[in-house]
Structure 1
Amino acid sequence: MSEKKVLAVVNEKEITEDTVLKFLNDLGPQMAMQFQSPEGMKRVVDELINQEVMYLDAKESKLDSDENFIKELERVKEGLLKQYALNQLLSGISVTEGEALEFYNENKENFKKPETVVASHILVEEEEKAKEIIKEIENGMSFEDAAKNYSTCPSKAQGGNLGEFGRGQMVPEFEDAAFNMEVDSISEPVKTQFGYHIIKLINKNAEGLSSFDEIKDQVTQQVLGTKQQQAYINKTNELKQKYEVKNNM
């Protein structure tokens, strides 16, 4: 096992690489990225030294005996203990595949997939320009090249491809046109608040039922949440019989 690297020592308290890594992990990935350099690491070590000398001074000044500190410590301990007790209660609860499958079979109405389409488009400002582009496509230019050459939408970089979307995700005029097209067909110019769209329908997916395998993880989490909630309710109801409770609401 490799020897730990000591980066600083404060009154015999070692600040090691592990100490720094724990500090960065507690910050979260986005904040930690700011310190992923030699200069950043030095700043972290400086901060850990600052915290340590503040702690030592607080101990020497007997701030840990201060009445307000003791009250705050008790408040924090109470919150931690509540959370720990809850975690202990819920940690032993699990869901079998059979339980998840039973829930799925009993609630299939909740697992329907809505109708969706996959479409590309070309967006221009003028209707006349849209008609000219349609003629170019009819004369052999690919829809993707036409999108890259003429579209004002950022999707032009993907040949106009907008991916898969369902109802309610696009403006009404665009949505109505796309959902009423045949696969592989190209629309006439469709006017919306953004300009004129030429739409190509790539695929259409009818409303259907998600299979259990597709959403097993989702169903399992849903059943787990229900079981945990019920366990919490049962436990608190049991404890309300044990301890005196007066609810004035």
Structure 2
Amino acid sequence: MGLRNHKKAIQITSAIMIAIFGISMLVTGILFLKNNVFGVANHREVIGTVNGTKIYRDDFEREVYSLKNQLKEINQQKIQQLSQVGVSADNIKDVPDNIINEYVLQLIINKEVLLSSAKELGIKISNATVNQDFESYQKQSKLGRKEFAQYLTSVGYNISSFKKSIKDQKTIEKMREKLFSNDKITDEEIKKAYERNKYTQAFANQDFEDVKDQIKENMTQDKDIMILNSYLAKAKQKAKIQFKDKEFEKMYARMTTVVAQNGEYKYTNEAVNEQIVNSVSQTQQGYSEKLVNDLKSTLKTNLDKFVKISNKAKAAGIKADPDLVGVDQLRDYSQKYYNYLIDTYKPDDATLQARFNSKKESYNIPNSISGYVIGEEYQAGQSDFDAAKKQAEDIMKTTTKDNFAAKAKEFSKDPGSANNGGSLGETADLSQLVPEFSNAVRSGKAGDIVGPIKTQFGYHIIYIQSKDPKNENVAKVSHILITPTISEASKQKVIKKVQDLKAEIESKKVAWSTVEKQDKYKFSVKERFKKMVKSDAIPGIGKNDELMNQIFGLQLNGILERNDTTGYYLITKTSEVPFTPATFENSKERVRLELAHEYADKQLEII
């Protein structure tokens, strides 16, 4: 329709990601927990303490309320999406209160354990630092002090509690810096990771220089998570966690109940709770007892396999990082053992030759080129939008409920709805539409025809057929979209901008790489391509065999100007790799690595 706003599941051991961010946890882009801590007030009920720090019932209930509502909203969106395509939503059940309660409690405890541990690391945040950040937040809000305080109250804070949340966040940030200060991924480790995986899909057609920063970031992030998880696990063992309310004491006992154990290693219900929330928020299924049982079974199976792999790793002389404990230690053993299997796999030449002969053509080095595509897509100017607005206003003058469908078929430029009389379906999820459109529907009444409403797509005439009284994000609507026609004058502005850049490049005032990397060069298309073959799509432009042949035919560093229907572009070829037929000798290491990955996968599978 053109109106919609355009790693895998959270790992079992990442429940303490709440602590990484200090006061919040992000799950699939959803801020689950807001640290809505009010200032000191009389008669607040204390439900427990973590190393002497009080946990208040109202804080707990506020966070439970927030999480519950957000999970319900996720499920509601699933139900709407499934109903729109005629799929039953009977399996979309809400997460039970007891699981939400346990999940929130475990996150609160994790955060407080880390905050109390900060003292042992000598971490202190001065009031001056907190006040400076507070002033920065207020400045960003563009509100006066009184108005900012009123805003904080509206979202569950006062000035004191907001400053406390800032202090908590800064404390966690400093704590992370200290914990990870010795966590350095060496250049040798990065290079080995690349050499081990350079023929896999992840690094296809990319040189070491292209991906080394990405490899370092991924390796560092994985290691940091394991270090923080392990630090928290050790800190929780020493922590003094007490409850004044029997209800919460029982809750804590349930969430720390072991559900899978193998020797010293174990999973508790904390891991199950996290996986439940993760599953409900990231997949199309809802809560069920089957989901819970499947998760527990998977945890047990994985734990047993992890332990077996760690035993194999120890027998091979592999050592885990001494800072890691529990499941994170097992993860470290598993990754190192997998790498060990790949690095030590040495098949004889006969085995290598047999694999090479079986798929020789796939080892050919194809003719490929590298270079840049930089340009600007044609965009309607203000005069073009003004003309579209006038057309929309003229159409609206004669549009009624009775002729709306006919008008949409005649005038609307929305290919997804015009032929249906402008209808967006039996129900539209307003939360998935651009805000100007959604707000117009929310503000209008059932039966209204509103507009013209300007969005990034043009001007909309909207017929609000009905609204769901129970959900402001659900309505039955139709619309007529009038898009601006890009004038020749608007196109000429784009062409001149791109041609001016060409002159700068040809005069050596600026390099292609500088334009591609630096934000000050404002072009809608800035693409660097590496090892592009003729069957590929052209970055920023798309599939075009004729244009691709022209690019391949360029002299090195020559410039091709392309006036396309979508925009005006400059294209250059900076290097070329000729076709090289595969030989056993030039393909030997690639074949070995291919077989090594298959071997390592098989060995872990049969353990």
TM over 0.5: same fold? no
Q: TM-score, normalised by structure 2?
A: 0.14
**TM-score scaled by length of structure 1:** 0.33
Which structure: greater helix fraction?
1
